[in-house]
Amino acid sequence: GQSLEQPSEVTAVEGAIVQMNCTYQTSGFYGLSWYQQHDGGAPTFLSYNALDGLEETGRFSSFLSRSDSYGYLLLQELQMKDSASYFCAVLDSSYKLIFGSGTRLLVRP
Amino acid sequence: DAGVIQSPRHEVTEMGQEVTLRCKPISGHDYLFWYRQTMMRGLELLIYFNNNVPIDDSGMPEDRFSAKMPNASFSTLKIQPSEPRDSAVYFCASRQNTGGSRETQYFGPGTRLLVL
């Protein structure tokens, strides 16, 4: 079977740093993606990791460890507008994206 | 580019009626995906096309669902007959073939379907 595990909810304070984890078990693996979705909106692409290590894009960083079937998304200098759901997604051997159930991030002032 | 365009944005219909959802992908994108999102099941891939050809429809829940892509700029997802459990947000997404170096799907705004 295929499964991705993400914490359901995370709360953090404006200006802080938050890490959202993702563990996966899938049939084949090409890479791990992260998407952001605001309430009532569409998922938007944040990052993609095909190789082990850290990828940084502004305030967002994404990490992958293929040997541990684990990744995380790191958000720095949190802003109120970062309150949203964050989905990890595995690109499997059929070249399909399999999405996790998402982590709902609440940023408090 | 205007991004992925979907219509209608909202649809309310009665059980048993036919529903047709429409999608225009980003120009130049080779892949088109249809997803369904519900609170219970999350974001599920229904079907995807490559160069207008259906590649994998294993996510289509039942024969009541069908999808077509008659050309590179248009796709439809049809539900006939519709049932209340089909109520969900349906997203269309497209992607350009980058040789596997980067996997970025661009999602449309979605169609919010309510079947009464």
Per-residue confidence (pLDDT) for residue A93, from 0 to 100: 81
Task: Count other Cβ atoms within 10 Å, centred on residue A67.
Answer: 7
Determine the 3-state secondary structure of A79 from DSSP: coil
Per-residue confidence (pLDDT) for residue B1, from 0 to 100: 66
Give the residue ranges of chain B where pLDDT is below 70. Answer: 1, 98-102
**Is B42 close to A101, i.e. CB distance below 8 A?**
yes
| CA–CA gap between residue A109 and residue A107 (Å, rounded) | 7
Residue of A32, A33, A45, A88 to mutate, testing the B interface (most B Cβ within 10 Å of its Cβ)? A45
| CA–CA gap between residue A107 and residue A66 (Å, rounded) | 30
Percentage of residues in chain A having pLDDT higher than 70: 99
DSSP state of B56: E
Answer for the pair B110, B8: CB distance below 8 angstroms, yes or no.
no
Nearest to A96 among B48, B101, B102 (CB): B48
Per-residue confidence (pLDDT) for residue A5, from 0 to 100: 95
Structure tokens at B106: 């661009």
Per-residue confidence (pLDDT) for residue B2, from 0 to 100: 81
Per-residue confidence (pLDDT) for residue A94, from 0 to 100: 78
Nearest to A44 among B44, B48, B107 (CB): B107
The alpha carbon dihedral of B57, B60, B63, B65 has a sign of negative
DSSP state of A37: E
CA A62-A68-A73 angle, to 5 degrees, is 15
Chain A closest CA to B102's CA: distance in Å?
7
The partner residues of A108 in beta bridges, in order of sequence, read: A13
| CA–CA gap between residue A99 and residue A106 (Å, rounded) | 20
**Is B42 close to A41, i.e. CB distance below 8 A?**
no
Per-residue confidence (pLDDT) for residue B91, from 0 to 100: 98
Average pLDDT over residues A18-30: 92
Per DSSP bridges, beta strands B5-7 and A60-65 are unpaired
Per-residue confidence (pLDDT) for residue B100, from 0 to 100: 58
Per-residue confidence (pLDDT) for residue B97, from 0 to 100: 74
Per-residue confidence (pLDDT) for residue A51, from 0 to 100: 93
Per-residue confidence (pLDDT) for residue A96, from 0 to 100: 85
Q: B64-87: b or e for each residue (b if 16 or more CB lie within 10 Å)?
A: ebebebeebeebebebeebeeebb
Nearest to A96 among B45, B107, B109 (CB): B45
